[in-house]
Structures are given as structure tokens and as C-alpha cells.
Amino acid sequence: MSFRLFDAPLREPSQFVGFAGNIIDRQSENRADDSVDKALADPTTRLLLMNGGRLYLKLGGNGGLDPWFGAAESEPFKVSFAHGVLLGFSDLGPVLAIPAGVEAEHLSETVKAIDYRSVYMQGLIDEAAAGAMAQGAALLAWHASHRFCSKCGTESQMRAGGYKRHCPNCGTEHFPRTDPVAIMLTATRDKCLLGRGRHFGPGMYSALAGFIEPGETIEAAVRRETLEEAGIRLGRVVYHASQPWPFPYSLMIGCFGEPLNDDIQADLNELEDCRWFARDEVRLMLTREHPGDLVTPPKGAIAHHLIRAWVDSE
Ligand SMILES: [Zn+2]
């Protein structure tokens, strides 16, 4: 009998999803309360500037977009260094995410503020920078919505380079959270289950998804969501890949599920439509050649990778 525990592809599927290119060395064991100040004093430090869900991008001479700012260069943008976080270290030096205060319409011709989703969907920056953006966006969003101690209501203070908030009144420490979301492709050899959310773009169908609840395993959440949204009971559930999803701070956990029944009962409060798709039809949706203009989610999305992995499997 062979040992199959690590019998997996050399490049794990999670390496191919959007935001997976983060190569920052976080050095989490070295984080201290003066980490941000020390990093800002380093002339090699590079900053991502963020404001209200948007990333600032400098227009380069060759038409490219550069997300990296030096500390002095960033000052005209009403940055708040006191609310910045240290993401970690690249080969070039420290990397920080800093909230900025100049609104998009007041920026100069040479700097644009573009929402994270467009930056990612349109591939405006390289994969390493997109990964850093996801890390910074999630952290800054968490700080912005967790200013006060959830135990006693006192305003808390940022610590450990932005990886902790400390309450000066009751002493409670609060840590940045990541909210797990299960996303699952229910499939047999011949067909898979795709649904259409009410907010989706024209013609798009995707894998079903939902938040994992307290006290639930990943597999239990996958089974519950599939039953609630589509009326399909699942047998086996297997994990495939995960994706950081900074809207605002989720982790998408992608799985495959094996259906035990065929008769879909879609929850029409959640979904506009939900049905079975044959492999050939899904292949045309992936390549944007579907005769009815139906499409799957774009390449960076983990749903795309779940669907692609199924289409390519035999
Ligand atoms: Zn407190």
C-alpha cells in the first residue's frame, strides 16, 4: 500500500487564484509596537496608499500603473501614518499599507484611486502587488470597523504593527479577523450545479457559496448551503483550494460536493436561477463561446478554478 497523504500536485491549486501572489515575508514573530515607526524610518520602505476601498496608482511614463509610494512622496495625500500597518518585508525592504485622505476627484492627473475589485479584475498591478493589496485592504478595513473595544466600548489602540488592538480600559486584546466562506461546485461525472445570484453581471453563473457559521466544519457548511440554496443533498465533500478575498476580509474555501439527488429546489430569495449544466456547455462558458452568452466567473476567481478543474477532469 502506498502512502497517499501528500499525493497532490506540486503546484497546489490555491497558487493559481487571484491574490495568491503575495510574497511578503510577514515576520510575524518579530512584530512590535514600534514596527510601523521603524519601517517608516527606513529609506527603502514602500507604501500602498488606500482610501475608502480604493488603491492609489501612479501613472507611469509608459502607461503602466505603479502602486508603490515612498514615505516622503506619500505626504501630500493626507496619509495617516498612525493608522498604517506593516505588511512585512520584500526583497526591497519593508512594505506598509497606509490610509490616505485625498478623495479620488481631488487627485492630480498623475495619480488615480481605483477600487480594489477593478484593480484585481483588470489586472492593473502584478500578482505580488495584488497579494499585498489584499493583505493591506483586509487589515485596514478591519481597523476601520473595530475602533472600539467590543467588550467595554472604550476606544482601543493599534499594536504589533497593526496585527492587534489593545483596550486601555479593560486590557482585552483584539485580533484581525478572517471570515471563512465556503464555495462549492456540486458535480457528477456528467454535470455540475451552477447558480445565478441576483447581483451577478449579465449571463454569469457560478458555484454556490455561503458563510461558514460558528460551530460548523467546512464540510458541514458546504452541505448546508447546498441544501438551503438548491435543495441538493451532498454525499462526499472534498477541499480543493482557497483564496484570500479582501471584501472586506474573507477567506474563500473551495470544495467539490457529490450530489445525492437531482431535483433542484432553488431558494429564489438567494438565487435568480440554479440548474445543472453539462460539461460541454460549461466548457463554452469558460471560453466565452456559449451560444446564449452565458459565462463563468473571470480567471482570478476561485469559482473559475473549481469549474475549470471539473471540466478538465475525466
Ligand atoms: Zn475594553
Distance 229 CA to ligand 1 centre (A): 39
Name the 3-class secondary structure at 121: helix
Angle between helices 279-286 and 302-312 (to 10 degrees): 130
Per the rule left: phi > 0, alpha: psi between -120 and 50, beta: everything else, 103 is beta
Distance 175 CA to ligand 1 centre (A): 13
C-alpha cell at 293: 452568452
How far does CA 286 lie from the centroid of its chain?
Answer: 21
Distance 81 CA to ligand 1 centre (A): 24
Q: What is the pLDDT of residue 104?
A: 84
CA distance 85 to 162: 5
Distance 296 CA to ligand 1 centre (A): 46
Distance 176 CA to ligand 1 centre (A): 16
The radius of gyration of the chain's CA atoms, rounded to the nearest angstrom, is: 22
Q: What is the pLDDT of residue 5?
A: 66
Contacts with 47 (C-beta within 8 Å, 6 or more apart), sequence order: 68, 69, 70, 71, 74, 79, 84, 95, 96, 97, 98
Q: What is the pLDDT of residue 38?
A: 95
Distance 148 CA to ligand 1 centre (A): 8
Distance 146 CA to ligand 1 centre (A): 12
> How many other C-beta atoms lie within 10 A of the C-beta of residue 105?
6
CA distance 148 to 232: 42
Distance 167 CA to ligand 1 centre (A): 5
Per the rule left: phi > 0, alpha: psi between -120 and 50, beta: everything else, 264 is beta
Task: Give 90's strand partners.
Answer: 93
Local structure of residue 104 (DSSP, 8 states): G
CA distance 188 to 185: 10
Distance 147 CA to ligand 1 centre (A): 11
Dihedral angle sign, alpha carbons of residues 228, 232, 235, 237: negative
Q: Which residues surround ligand 1, an ion (CB under 5 A)?
A: 149, 151-152, 154, 167, 169-170, 172
User: Kindly report the CA angle at 227 between 226 and 231, in degrees rounded to 5?
Assistant: 110
Distance 156 CA to ligand 1 centre (A): 7
CA distance 197 to 112: 31
Distance 165 CA to ligand 1 centre (A): 10
Distance 149 CA to ligand 1 centre (A): 5
pLDDT in tens, the chain (314 residues): 456 766 666 778 999 999 999 999 999 999 999 999 999 999 999 999 999 999 999 998 777 899 999 999 999 999 999 999 999 999 999 999 999 999 888 988 899 999 999 999 889 999 999 999 999 999 999 999 999 999 999 999 999 999 999 999 999 999 999 999 999 999 999 999 999 999 999 999 999 999 999 999 999 999 999 999 999 999 999 999 999 999 999 999 999 999 999 999 999 998 999 999 999 999 999 999 999 999 999 988 999 999 999 999 97
pTM above 0.85, yes or no: yes
CA distance 38 to 15: 32
Residue written as grid cell 477567506: 251
Contacts with 126 (C-beta within 8 Å, 6 or more apart), sequence order: 21
Distance 143 CA to ligand 1 centre (A): 15
